[in-house]
Amino acid sequence: MNKNSKVLALKYRPQTFDDLIGQDIVAETIINSIKANKIPNAYLFTGIRGIGKTTIARIVAKSLNCLKGIENLCKDKQCENCEAISNSNHIDVLEMDAASKTGVDDVRDLIEFSRYGPTSSKFKIFIIDEVHMLSKQAFNALLKTLEEPPEYLKFIFATTEIKKIPITVVSRCQRFDLSRIKSSELFEFIKKIKELEKGKASDDAIQLIVKISEGSVRDALSLLDRGLLALNENKELDLNEAQKIFGYFDKAQLIEIFELILQGDEKKVVERYRKIYDQGVEPKVFINDFLELVYYFKNINSLTLESTNFSLNNDEYLRIKKISNDIEDKILILFWQFTIRTLEELDIVSNQNLSIEMFLIRLMHLNSAKSKKDIPKNEYLNNEDLTKSIENKDLISNIQNDTINQIKNITQEKKIKSETQSEIKLEGKTSIRTFEKLLDTCSQNKEMKLKYELEKNVNLVSFEKNRIEISFNDNLDKNFVKEISLKLFEWTGERWIITFSKSKGEISVKERELNKKKELFEKAKQSEIYKNVLEKFSDANLVDIISKNDKKD
C-alpha cells in the first residue's frame, strides 16, 4: 500500500520512542529497563483513546527484538525484525484483539503457542489490545503463565478500561498510565503534520482541532485529515470553515449572548440563540458550552490561554477578561447552578429548543442586579448592600438555597400561597374528623384496597385534624402512605401528615371485630337457648351470629 494513500493517523504513526510526544517519562523508563536487562514479564499500558498505547506496545516489541539492539535501535532504515513488527506480520510477535477473542479457549490456544520458543528473534511477544474485554475465565487461565512465563516470553497489554481488569492481573504487570497530550505539544505536532502534508490551515483552526480532540493524537490527526480534504486545494482551513466542518459554533457568539444577558436585551438574546440553533447546534451542546463559558468568566484571572485547552482564542480570552471585571462572583455562581439545573431539565422537556430560550430569559431576570460599573463604590463594597442589589426585583435573599428558591419572587410565593389556600377550600370537599369517617369515605369512593389496609394492617395511635399517627404490621403495602395522602388531599382538599409511631397503638379494626365476635360466641354458648338446642340436638354446633341490625339490612 502506498504510504501517501494512508490516513494521517496511520501515515504518521510513531515508529520509535523519539517519535512519541507527551510520553517522555514512560519512554525513558522502558528504555532504561531494557538497557539494564530488567525486563518485566508483562507491560500494561492504560489511558484514553488515541494517545499511543498500541503504538508504544509495538515500539517495545521492536526494542526487544531489534537486530541492532536497544543502543542502536532502527530509526530510518529498519532491520528485518522491526519492519515485520511495523507491518504486523512478524512470526514471533502476535497481536490479538481481545474484543473479538474474549473466550478462555482463545487464551488456552495462546498459552499452548507460548510453549514454543521464538523462531527468528530474541523474544516471543504477545500484544493484547483492549485486554479488559477478556472474560473472567480467560483472565484466570492467563494468571499462572503471566506470573512465571518462560524467559523468552513477554506480554504487552493495552486498555482504556483499567478498572475492568482483575487486580490479580494488574499486580503481575508493570503498569504505565499514559497521560493526555498537552495542548501546546499537540498544537505543535499537528502544525508540523500540516506543513509536511503541504496543507493550508490557520492557527485558530488547528487550535479548534486540539480542543475537540481532548488530548488524543489520533483524533487530532483524523480531524486534520477531514478538514484538509473538505476544502479545495488552494483554500485555507480557517476557524469559520473548521467550525462548520466539525459542527462547532463560534465562541464569540456565545460571549455576545452572555454580554446581552448582562445588559437585559431579551430580543437580541433570543435572536442570537436562534441563529446558533439554525447552525445545527444541539441544545445540550449549547448548555455544556455555556457552562464552560461561565467557568471561564469566574476563573479567567487565574487562567492562561493555554490552560483553556485552546477553547478560546486570543480575542475571546481578552474579551472575557474585560467583561468579567464588571460581574459579581455571586451572579456567576447563580448562573452556574441554574445552568446545571437546566441541563437536568432538558431530559424531561419535549421541545428542548424552547426550554433553552426560556432558560436565557430567566437568566436575564436573575441578573436584574446592577453591574459593578453602575453600583457606587461605597455600595458594592458592602456585603449587605451587595446582597440587596442582587436581590433587586424581590429575589429571595438566601443565595445558598436551592437554585429554584433563589430566583423565586417573594410576591409570586405569596400569590401561590393564597391561590393554594383558596383551592383547598373548594366546595364539595369531605370533612374527615375520625378514623371511622375515613373508613366510611373509603367505602363511598370504592377504595376497597385502601380500606382493607386501614382495617387489617394499621394500628391507630392518634387521629387529629390533618394528622394521623399509626403503627403497622409487616403486611402493610409499601405504597400505603403515598396513596392515603393523595386520597385524603383529593377528598378533603387539605394536606395530611401521616407519621409512624413506635407505640403499638390500638388494635386493628379487623382484630377488634374478631374479638367482638368471639365475645358474642362465648355469650351465645352460655345462653339458655343454646343449651336447650344442645339437649335436643347433641351434635349441633354454633356457626355464626347475625345481629338484628345486620338482619334488617
The backbone region for 210, taken as left when phi is positive above 0, alpha when psi lies in -120 to 50, beta otherwise, is: alpha
Grid cell for residue 11: 501515515
Domain end point (choices 246, 275, 295):
246
CA distances from 31 to 60, 137, 171, 419 (A): 9, 34, 21, 76
Same domain, 261 and 312: yes
CA distances from 143 to 42, 124, 380, 550 (A): 11, 18, 67, 79
- Residue stretches of the chain with pLDDT short of 50: 1, 369-426, 551-553
Residue 213 lies in a domain: yes
Query: Is-contact 455 461, C-beta < 8 A?
Result: no
In angstroms, how far is CA 442 from the centroid of its own chain? Answer: 44
Q: What angle do CA 34, 36, 39 make, to 5 degrees?
A: 45
Alpha-carbon radius of gyration of the chain: 38
Same domain, 307 and 197: no
* pLDDT at site 419: 45
* pLDDT at site 309: 63
Same domain, 264 and 152: no
Grid cell for residue 193: 503534520
Same domain, 195 and 100: no
Residue 196 lies in a domain: yes
* pLDDT at site 170: 93
Residue 428 lies in a domain: no
Phi/psi of residue 42, nearest 5 degrees:
-150, 140
Same domain, 360 and 467: no
Same domain, 299 and 377: yes
DSSP codes, 343-373: HHHGGG-S-HHHHHHHHHHHHHHHT-SPPTT
Q: What is the pLDDT of residues 349-391, one digit of tens each?
A: 888 888 899 999 888 887 654 444 444 444 433 444 434 444 4
Same domain, 25 and 169: yes
Q: Report helix, strand or coil for 395.
A: strand
Query: Is-contact 434 462, C-beta < 8 A?
Result: no
Q: What is the CATH number of the domain that holds 348?
A: 1.20.272.10
Same domain, 153 and 283: no
Closest CA to 51 of 217, 219, 224, 221: 217
In angstroms, how far is CA 15 from the centroid of its own chain? Answer: 37
Same domain, 491 and 522: no
- Which residue range forms the structural domain that includes residue 449? 435-500
* pLDDT at site 400: 40
User: How many residues does the structure list for the chain?
Assistant: 553
Query: How far apart (Å, rounded) are the C-alpha atoms in residues 448 and 442?
Result: 7
Same domain, 227 and 348: no
Within 10 angstroms of residue 527's Cβ, the number of other Cβ atoms is 10
Closest CA to 128 of 54, 17, 179: 54
* pLDDT at site 346: 85
Within 10 angstroms of residue 388's Cβ, the number of other Cβ atoms is 14
Residue with cell 507527551: 22
Number of domains making up the chain: 5
Residue 418 lies in a domain: no
Query: How far apart (Å, rounded) are the C-alpha atoms in residues 8 and 6?
Result: 6
Q: What is the CATH number of the domain that holds 202?
A: 1.10.8.60
Query: Is-contact 123 90, C-beta < 8 A?
Result: no
Phi/psi of residue 455, nearest 5 degrees:
-80, -35
Domain end point (choices 205, 223, 246):
246
Closest CA to 453 of 479, 491, 434: 479
Query: Is-contact 501 469, C-beta < 8 A?
Result: yes
Grid cell for residue 450: 385502601
Residue 33 lies in a domain: yes
Residue with cell 375515613: 438
Residue 420 lies in a domain: no
Residue 26 lies in a domain: yes
Closest CA to 462 of 501, 405, 411: 501
Grid cell for residue 202: 490557520
Same domain, 276 and 397: yes
Query: Between the CA atoms of 227, 228, 234 and 236, what dihedral angle is there, to the nearest 10 degrees?
Result: 40
Closest CA to 205 of 317, 56, 87, 310: 310
CA distances from 167 to 163, 164, 170, 395 (A): 8, 9, 5, 53
Residue 425 lies in a domain: no
Query: How far apart (Å, rounded) are the C-alpha atoms in residues 509 and 443?
Result: 14
Same domain, 26 and 48: yes
Q: What is the pLDDT of residues 114-145, one digit of tens each?
A: 888 888 889 999 999 999 999 888 898 889 88
